[in-house]
Amino acid sequence: MLKNTVTTIGGATRDIMFYTDDMVLVDNKHDLLRKKLIGFEYGAKVYSKDVSFTFGGGGMNTAINFAGLGIKTQTILSIGDDMVGHQILAELRDNKISTRLVQTNIKTISGTSFVINVGRFNEHVIFAYRGANSKIDLTKKLVAKINTPWVYLTSLPKSGKATFKFLFDECDKKKQKIAWNPGTNQLKLGLKGLSKYMKCTHVFDVNRDEALELVVSVKGKKTKDNIKAILKFLHQYGQEITVITDGHRGAHVYDGSKYYYRAAQKRAGINTTGAGDAFGSSFVAGLIKYNGDIQRALKLAIINSNSVISKIGAQEGLLKVRDLNKYNL
C-alpha cells in the first residue's frame, strides 16, 4: 500500500449555481424530518441574482480537497464521454490526482446538478441528475485494485447489497480504514440496514438532520432532538469515530470515550454547497496528517468548511497545504 494515501469514491458533476431571493421559507416544525421548506410560486418565472458554473460531486470534491492538503489521492468516479467528462478529467489531473480508476461510460452523459441557494446563510437545495454517476462500477475486480490505507466513501447510487458488502468486506480484510459520509440511497436503509457496514467503518460522518432521521428509523416518534444523545446512540453501532455536523452551529465528535465540539467560525458565507464534503475530508485529512489527533483534525475541518463557503462552488474556497501555517495547524 501507498503511504498516507486515500481513495475517494463517489460522484463528479458539473454544478450550475443559482442564487435567488424570490422565494418563501416555510416553517414546518410539525415534521421532525423536514423542519424547513422552500416555496416558489407555482407557474412563476424565478430570476437569479447570480449564476456560476462549477464542479461538484462528493467523490470529486473530496479528492480535490485531500490533494490540496498534501495527501496523495486517487479517485473512483464514473463520467460520460462528453465535454463535461473531459473537463472533470482535466481538473483532476491538474490537481495531481490519480485517475487510473476513473471510469468513462460512453452511453450516458456526465452528472449535472442545479443548485438553488437561498436565505440568510445561503442554504441550498440540489436538483441532481446522476447520469454517469449511477453507472459507477464497484465490482470485485475494481475494488481489488484499491491499494490505499484510507478509503473515503461518499454518496453512491442505489446498487446491489452484494456489491456494497464486498467493498466493506474487502477493505476490512485488507485493514483499510473507511471514512463514510453516506448518501441518500444509503440513508434510506435506516440504521438497521447500515449497521453491518458501520461496524467496519473508522469514521462515520452525517449531518444533524441525517443523524436524526437514522435514529428515528429505530426509535420512532419518541426520539428527542438532543445532539449528544443522538451522537452516543449512533456510536453504539460499532464505528471508531462518530461525527455529526450542525451547519453554522459547528460540529460534534465522539470516539467512545471522549466528546469533542467545535463551533463554526462567525463568517458570512456565499453558499454552503460542498461544506459537508470539505468538512468530512478535512477531518480525515487531519487524522492522517496529525497522527489521529481528533482535536486538530476537527479544527482543520471547521476552518476549511468555513473557507469553502466563502467562495462560489464546492471547491474554489478549499484551503491548500500552504495555507495551514497561518491557522497554527
Question: Per-residue pLDDT tens for 8-50?
Answer: 999 999 999 888 888 888 888 888 777 788 888 899 999 888 8
Q: Which CA distances in Å does 181 have to 8, 108, 152, 203, 266?
A: 11, 25, 8, 8, 25
Residue 316, CA distances (Å) to 39, 232, 304, 308, 311 in order: 29, 34, 11, 7, 6
**pTM metric for this prediction:** 0.88
287 neighbors 203 (Cβ within 8 angstroms): yes
Return the amino acid letter for 269. Answer: G
Check residue 2 and give its pLDDT: 53
What's the confidence (pLDDT) of residue 319? 93
Q: What is the pLDDT of residue 179?
A: 98
pLDDT band at 269 (very low <50, low <70, confident <90, very high): low
pLDDT of residue 251: 97
pLDDT at res. 260:
98
pLDDT value at residue 160: 57
Lowest mean pLDDT among 66-75, 105-114, 125-134, 261-270: 261-270
Is it the case that residue 3 has pLDDT exceeding 60?
Answer: no
Give the pLDDT score at 161: 60
pLDDT band at 328 (very low <50, low <70, confident <90, very high): confident
Contact assessment for residue 108 and residue 80, using Cβ atoms and an 8 Å cutoff: yes
The predicted-structure confidence for 145-204, as pLDDT tens digits, reads as follows 999 999 999 988 876 566 778 899 999 999 999 999 999 889 999 999 999 999 999 999
The pLDDT value recorded for residue 310 is: 82
The larger pLDDT score, comparing residue 320 to residue 123, is at 320
The span from the first CA to the last CA of the chain, in angstroms, equals: 27
pLDDT number for residue 128:
87
HSE-up of residue 42 (Cα within 13 Å, Cβ side): 0
Lowest mean pLDDT among 130-144, 151-165, 219-233: 151-165
DSSP state of 276: H
Question: Which ranges of the chain would DSSP assign to H, the alpha helix?
Answer: 58-68, 83-94, 140-143, 161-173, 184-187, 190-198, 208-219, 227-235, 275-289, 294-308
Domain 5-11+58-109+138-321 is in which class?
A: alpha beta
Give the pLDDT mean for 225-250.
94
- Tell me the three cell numbers of residue 302: 471547521
What number of CA atoms fall less than 13 Å from residue 44's CA on the CB side?
A: 9
Tell me the pLDDT of the chain averaged across its residues. 90
**62 pLDDT band (50/70/90 cuts)?**
very high
How many angstroms separate the CA atoms of 116 and 40, rounded? Answer: 11
Lowest mean pLDDT among 46-60, 92-106, 262-276, 277-291: 262-276
